[in-house]
Structure 1
Amino acid sequence: MNLIVSFLGIQIPALIVIFLCAGLIQVLLNKVLADLGVYEFVWHPGLFRTALFVCVFTSFSLLIYK
């Protein structure tokens, strides 16, 4: 199933929209987790942020494409 989103007359794949939404959610999650001090207890914060983004992106993708 190939989902296409039309934005201002331009057709773009739905995964690009999901990627951008996941990026915005990741920015908010990073801010919240940094304020809570979670990154002080994480071994590698960059790896943790990347894994968190992959989890958010995959979750949204599975909801749309299931």
Structure 2
Amino acid sequence: MPVEITVFGAVVPTLLPIFAVSVVFYLIADKLTSRWNLDRWVWHPALFRLALFVCVFSLLGLGVYG
């Protein structure tokens, strides 16, 4: 289990690339949910988007560290 990785000579925590990948997955999922108009089914759209990002980031983090 790597705790830190080297990117172009700089040591970065492993969660930083996971964060970047989760942002890409989140943007794709957000585009799909807005295209299918799922915002009308949730109580608070901004809270739903935040929870969606937290779920994506947690799943990718657990995939690496779990």
**TM-score, length-normalised on structure 2?**
0.90
The separation in 2 between residues aligned to 1:39 and 1:19, in whole angstroms, is 24
Q: Which residue number corresponds to residue 12 of structure 1?
A: 12
Unaligned ranges ≥5, structure 1: none
Q: How many residues align?
A: 66
CA distance in 2, matches of 1:52, 1:9: 33
Runs of 4+ in 1 over 6 A off after TM superposition: none
Aligned equivalents of 1:36 and 1:3: distance in 2? Answer: 38
**Is 1:35–2:30 an aligned residue pair?**
no
CA offsets, 1:12-62, max 9 Å, x none? 001111111111111111111100111111110000000011111111111
CA RMSD of aligned residues (A): 1.2
Identity %: 35
1:50 paired to 2:43: no
Question: Which sections of structure 2, spanning at least 5 residues, go unmatched?
Answer: none
Report the Cα distance in structure 1 between the residues aligned to 2:53 and 2:27, rounded to whole angstroms.
9
Give the letter aligned to residue 8 of structure 1.
Answer: F
Q: Tell me the TM-score normalized by structure 1.
A: 0.90
